[in-house]
Amino acid sequence: MSSILVFGASGQLGQCLARVAAERNLPGLVLLSSQQANILDPAALRGVFEQHRPQYCINCAAYTAVDRAEDEPEQARRINRDGAATLARLCQEFGATLLHVSTDFVFAGAANEPLQETDAAAPIGAYGLTKLEGEQAVAALVERHFIVRTGWLYSEFAHNFVKTMLRLGRERGEVRVVWDQVGTPTYAVDLAAALLHIIDTGSTAYGLYHYSNEGVTSWYDFAVAIFELSGVPARVVPIRTAEFPTRARRPAYSVLDKSKAKQQLGLSIPHWRVSLQQCLRRLG
């Protein structure tokens, strides 16, 4: 493995990258929190590049508070667009390959079949818009780039749907979950392994890719599976999105087509239930 800088390393995906690298005894990973390397500080970031001279950078740093982004669009834009652009410029200057993580929220959610990389993006909220702007900046500013869209991330780390459901199920015994939003859960450990696979194989198939686990489900059915596989005796009540209003709209359909990633990057992708079982075992 080459020298790899991971930005936003204290977040969910960053912690999963650290775990996968440790389990596989992969050298060269430099894990940088926002305190150690703030992507909004170009001068400090240049110092990091000069110190490490990376061959690869993985950008996990992002503004991900979907609802709050509606009230703080410029702060979301500073991180998701401007921070990504700064990283891209430095990667281009130092000859590094940038792996940039994006989101299914770049789509409107009006489709009814798996979304391909060539499908038109049409974000319906500030978070999705600023992430799309970040994609565009990366594609324009650094030649060697992999932009990887994902969605419905969960793991043993940080705050996520699986951990929230387990907590609420134990505390309340009943949860209300929307059934009319459809997508695919993504175990962040699997995404981390996919990113490291791209680096380990030395792929030069640069461009835009989709990655989630295999399969399709709703948030309601995902919650049912969480309780079924964990043995937590909680009841799940299906509700419509309109019964659970949020500040930001969510895509109703965000199933990602992974054909390109499998064919061009040689990725083998597990089904979401298999990965959920692994996560629940690790959560104990």
pLDDT over 80 (residue 192): yes
Based on its alpha-carbon atoms, the radius of gyration of the chain, rounded to whole angstroms, reads 18
pLDDT over 70 (residue 170): yes
Residue 62 pLDDT = 97
Residue 90 in tokens: 């430095």
Residue 27 pLDDT = 87
Domains of the chain, with CATH numbers?
Answer: 4-159+184-215+254-270 (3.40.50.720)
Annotated catalytic residue: which of 127, 209, 211, 253?
127
Element (H, E) at 191: helix 188-201
Q: How far is CA 214 from the centre of its chain?
A: 15
Average pLDDT over residues 2-26: 95
Q: Is 127 a catalytic residue?
A: yes
Q: What is the end-to-end Cα distance of the chain in Å, rounded?
A: 32
Burial of 164 (0-12, 13-18, 19+ CB in 10 A): middle
Residue 269: count of CB within 10 angstroms of its CB = 19
Q: What are the backbone dihedrals phi and psi of residue 101, each rounded to the nearest 5 degrees, phi first? A: -95, 130
Identify any residues that bridge with 103 across adjacent strands, giving them in sequence order. 150
Q: What percent of the chain lies above the pLDDT cut of 70? A: 99
pLDDT over 60 (residue 126): yes
Confidence band of 34 (pLDDT split at 50, 70, 90):
very high
The span from the CA of 146 to the CA of 51, in Å, is 23
pLDDT one-digit tens code per residue, 193-232: 999 999 999 999 999 999 999 999 999 999 999 999 999 9
pLDDT over 80 (residue 235): yes
pLDDT one-digit tens code per residue, 241-277: 999 999 999 999 999 999 999 999 999 999 999 999 9
- For the chain, the residue count is 284
**Tokens 């500073």 -> residue:** 78
The span from the CA of 131 to the CA of 18, in Å, is 24
Average pLDDT over residues 54-61: 98
3-class SS string, 222-276: HHHHHHHHHCCCCEEEEECHHHCCCCCCCCCECCECCHHHHHHHCCCCCEHHHHH
Residue 2 pLDDT = 63
Q: What percent of the chain lies above the pLDDT cut of 90? A: 98
Identify any residues that bridge with 177 across adjacent strands, giving them in sequence order. 238
Residues 6+ apart with CB under 8 A from 1: 26, 27, 28, 29, 196, 199, 200
Average pLDDT over residues 105-130: 97
On the CB side of 198, how many CA atoms lie within 13 Å of its CA?
32
Residue 55 pLDDT = 97
Average pLDDT over residues 53-77: 97
Q: How far is CA 232 from the centre of its chain?
A: 27
Could you tell me whether strands 182-183 and 217-218 are parallel, antiparallel, or unpaired per DSSP bridges? antiparallel
